[in-house]
Amino acid sequence: MQRDFTLEKYEQLLLAFHSAGYTFLNYEQYLTLKTLPAKFVILRHDVDRDAPTALRMAQTEQRVFAEEGSGSSTYYFRYVKTSNQPHIIREIALKGMEIGYHYEDMDWAKGDTDKAYRHFTEWLDYFRQYYPVRTVCMHGSPRSPWDAKDLWKTHNYRQLGLIGEPYFDTDFKSVFYLTDTGRCWDGNRYSVRDNVPQMQDEWLSKGWTYHSTDDIIKALAENNFPEKALLTAHPNRWHNDLIGWTKEAVLQTLKNQIKKLIVKKNQK
């Protein structure tokens, strides 16, 4: 059986969407197109770390998009060195992908919203060197006592020329959300912050729940997948080489146990 969460498996997933008639959109396109395709998948990537793998993922997408004739995806970069690698950001932008800021300024400012806002604007300007950034997305550190999204309780990102943030501006009543949080596609029990107000009961009644990437591929082939979706894939989880793949698998298993304890604590 072929390993899951490899770049080869990711390419198979993209090809399955292509074969099923889906259009690949970046998040900016989702917000700005006057008419959305009947079937689409928004591809979002949170580059938490491992920027080189993000580039390899973009190269994979470029091959598939060339076959379809069009397509784009979104890459949100943090300001930390493992994510913020200028030559990689520049190269991904040149491939026609959207670039955005994966912000965590409340954590950096230890909850001081004014300080966090100043930090946010500085780094937004920085990333606009590589791309005219119009969307941003929060980074949800599970161990942080501060929620990055709380910055917008006192400030307005639209005043900075931004048009959207996935957790605020996606119509989750019609757009199905999938994330590889927990190194699976049904890892809600491991997710501390990467949650959305989905219509869980209705979607579960339709059988729209998937654990592995092969589950999604099979559902697409059998026409048992929603026509509108937002898919979040973290590049650091997808490795072809066995050493990198194994290291990520072990690390994620440990992180999942910690996250389960945090989620359980937050539910009390």
User: What pLDDT does residue 207 have?
Assistant: 81
Reference 238, options 63, 61, 97; nearest CA is 61
Reference 7, options 237, 211, 185, 248; nearest CA is 237
Confirm if 27 and 164 have CB atoms less than 8 A apart: yes
Asked if residue 113 belongs to a domain, the reply is yes
Q: Which amino acid is at 221?
A: A
Asked if residue 1 belongs to a domain, the reply is no
C-alpha distance across the termini of the chain, in Å: 40
Question: What is the rounded CA–CA span in Å between residue 38 and residue 24?
Answer: 12
Asked if residue 226 belongs to a domain, the reply is yes
Confirm if 125 and 119 have CB atoms less than 8 A apart: no
Reference 217, options 1, 19, 52, 2; nearest CA is 19
Residue 159 predicted with pLDDT over 80: yes
pLDDT tens for 63-79 read: 999 988 899 999 999 99
Q: For residue 243, give every residue at least 6 positions away whose Cβ sits within 8 Å of its Cβ, in sequence order, or none.
A: none
pTM higher than 0.85? yes
Asked if residue 183 belongs to a domain, the reply is yes
Residue 9 predicted with pLDDT over 70: yes
Asked if residue 109 belongs to a domain, the reply is yes
Confidence of residue 129 (pLDDT cuts 50, 70, 90): very high
| Structure tokens that stand for 129 in this block | 């060197």
- 8-state DSSP, 107: H
The CATH number of residue 129's host domain is: 3.20.20
Asked if residue 221 belongs to a domain, the reply is yes
Number of domains into which the chain is organized:
1
User: What pLDDT does residue 206 have?
Assistant: 80
Q: Which amino acid is at 17?
A: F
User: What pLDDT does residue 116 have?
Assistant: 98
Confirm if 122 and 103 have CB atoms less than 8 A apart: no
User: What pLDDT does residue 197 have?
Assistant: 61
Q: Which domain holds residue 58?
A: 7-266
Confirm if 102 and 47 have CB atoms less than 8 A apart: yes
Residue 124 predicted with pLDDT over 70: yes
User: What pLDDT does residue 252 have?
Assistant: 67
Mean pLDDT of the chain: 89
Give the position of tokens 């589950």.
Answer: 215
Confirm if 196 and 170 have CB atoms less than 8 A apart: yes
Asked if residue 51 belongs to a domain, the reply is yes
Half-sphere exposure of 92 (CA within 13 A, CB side): 34
Q: Which amino acid is at 44?
A: R
| Sign of the Cα pseudo-torsion (162, 167, 173, 177, in order) | positive
